[in-house]
Amino acid sequence: MIAHLRGKVEEKFGNFLTIDVNGVGYEVAVPMPDFEGVNLGEEKKFFTYHVVRENAEELYGFSSLAAKKIFELLISVQGIGPKAAIAILSLAEAEEVRNAIANADAAFISKASGVGKKSAERVIVDLRDKVGIPSHYGATEVKSVVATTVNDEALDALIALGFPLKEATAALEKVDPSLPVGERVKLALKN
């Protein structure tokens, strides 16, 4: 299993990146916020999900561990495969997608390519209790945004320590987001 890649972005096409890792090029499918957030020649780390099929091997990459965990939750839903999960994560930043699921915003989820109303509702029913509480209420808008690390590092740290996404999100909810990452993690662990 390939857990992550760190290398130079050599090519960009569609929603695929070619990452050169010590002379070996890995083709990685990424959500649009991650695709738009990298430049050719840039050194970048991606958390990956490796899919092995009878006739193909595919790598899906994410700039944050939280996005990878949401992807894993999405593909656990019946009828949602890796391509549909990437399409859902391409709608907005991972936190916005998580928030849309927590708010039961099926209209937002169904805007993803290849995801219909029934599939979006199935995502909501299956994952609403697994993604944590909403960070804000109301309908989520599809935005074209460049990937940033807004509060992702503290969430990634908690997930890396073994916390489920729902518990990590709930622990960070009570912590001031303007604090440094280390301080936020420390306070979240105390909660």
Residues 58 and 86 grouped into a single domain: no
3-state secondary structure of 131: coil
Number of domains, the chain: 3
Residues 22 and 54 grouped into a single domain: yes
| Cα–Cα distance for residue pair 143/147, rounded to 1 Å | 11
pLDDT at 149: 36
pTM recorded for the entire structure: 0.73
Confidence category of residue 148, pLDDT binned at 50, 70, 90: very low
DSSP-derived secondary structure for 28-64: EE--HHHHHT--TT-EEEEEEEEEE-SS-EEEEEESS
| Cα–Cα distance for residue pair 137/104, rounded to 1 Å | 10
Inter-residue contact 56 to 169 (CB < 8 Å): no
pLDDT, one tens digit per residue, over 73-84 is 999 999 999 999
Question: Which letter does DSSP use for residue 140 in this model?
Answer: P
Cα-Cα end-to-end distance for the chain: 33
pLDDT, one tens digit per residue, over 30-87 is 999 999 999 999 999 999 999 998 998 999 999 999 899 999 999 999 999 999 999 9
Is residue 142 a part of any domain in this protein?
no
Q: What are phi and psi of 57, to 5 degrees?
A: -125, 130
Q: Note down the domain range covering 165.
A: 152-190
3-state secondary structure of 175: coil
Is residue 144 a part of any domain in this protein?
no
Confidence category of residue 143, pLDDT binned at 50, 70, 90: very low
| Cα–Cα distance for residue pair 63/12, rounded to 1 Å | 15
pLDDT, one tens digit per residue, over 160-187 is 777 777 778 778 877 888 888 888 888 8
